[in-house]
Amino acid sequence: MSIHIAAPKGDIADKILLPGDPLRAKFIAENFLENPVLFNDIRNMFGYTGTYKGERVSVMGTGMGMPSISIYAHELITEYDVKKLIRVGTAGSLSKDVHVRELVLAQAAATTSRIIKNDWPEYDLPQIADFDLLDKAYHISKDMGVITHVGNVLSADLFYSDLFDKNIKLGTMGVKAVEMEAAALYYLAAKHQVQALSLMTISDSLVLDEDTTTEEREKTFTDMMRVGLETLIA
């Protein structure tokens, strides 16, 4: 057991899909994994291990924001020897070319958080995806016919932020979307030399007046989960 995960070592696969919402972890386990077994319910942060196309895979919620995902990713990597971590989440588009329901693969993540600066005050250390996972996810997603964008994202500390206008300006420099976890996940992966990638479905746009129905949202989330799982086992 670790502090926040109630599983004996060995109950978690070395490949994991990480949605923010623990109920989405349950949904993925019940709809995509064969023989899913619950390994964690501390704080209702559900985690399951099963198989996907015969390969052992886990899925677990992380909560929202960099402090929360940092706790779970740290424990998964250092206490459970997880080697491949793929986040599946939502993001707000910062670009007029990136529409709701489309997929963004975070090649890199800028951040307003201090977590990296605290350790590396003299540096602007880019937080980047694992290239092997990024390359695989890109081709899997394209082959599935999903509209896929690759590029920089912003990992913000605040959802309700006074930096709204500046965030929009970042969009004019090619930053595709804003979310709240990727930079922390990439930093921990770099620190511990494991592989990480963040996939995000655009749930809302900060620059266009776009909406999406619940069914449409479900469908695109489902595509993203499949891209994530296929990438984990590729």
204 among the known binding-site residues?
yes
Give 131 or 159: the residue with its C-beta nearer to ligand HPA.
Answer: 159
- Min dist CB 121 to ligand HPA, Å, is 26
Binding ligand HPA (rule: CB under 6 A), the pick from 49, 62, 68, 90 is 90
- Cβ proximity to ligand HPA: between 38 and 207 the closer is 207
Quick check: 140 binds ligand HPA (CB under 6 A)? no
Instruction: Tell me: is residue 100 an annotated ligand-binding position.
Output: no
Q: Are 128 and 108 in contact (CB under 8 A)?
A: yes
One character per residue 150-179, x = contact with ligand HPA (rule: CB under 6 A): ------x--x------------------xx
Structure tokens at 219: 């469908």
Helix/strand/coil (H, E, C) string of 150-175? Answer: EEEEEECCCCCCCCHHHHHHHHCCCC
Beta-strand ranges (E) seen in the chain are 15-19, 34-40, 47-52, 55-60, 84-93, 103-111, 127-128, 148-155, 177-179, 195-205
For the record, the structure tokens of 105 come out as 């693969």
Binders in 174-213 for ligand HPA, by CB under 6 A: 178-180, 203-204, 206
Report whether 228 belongs to an annotated binding site: no
With tokens 């290239």, the residue in question is: 131
What the block records as the tokens of 39 is: 């390994």
Phi-psi category of 193—alpha, beta or left, where left has phi over 0 and alpha has psi -120 to 50?
left
Q: What residue is closest to ligand HPA based on CB?
A: 92
Spatial separation of the C-alpha atoms in residues 148 and 142, rounded to whole Å: 7
**203 assigned binding-site residue:** yes
Instruction: State the nearest-atom distance from the C-beta of 212 to ligand HPA, in Å.
Output: 12
Spot the catalytic one: 14, 21, 135, 204: 204
Candidate list 91, 116, 137, 232; residue touching ligand HPA; CB under 6 A: 91
Distance of CA 70 to the CA centre of its chain: 12
Q: Of 177, 184, 119, give the one whose Cα is nearest residue 152.
A: 177
The reply to whether 21 belongs to the active site is no
- Contact status: 95 vs ligand HPA (CB under 6 A): no
Binding site for ligand HPA (CB under 6 A): 90-92, 156, 159, 178-180, 203-204, 206
Point out the residues that are catalytic.
Answer: 204
Detail the residues annotated as belonging to a binding site for phosphate. 20, 24, 43, 87-90
Detail the residues annotated as belonging to a binding site. 4, 20, 24, 43, 87-90, 179-181, 203-204
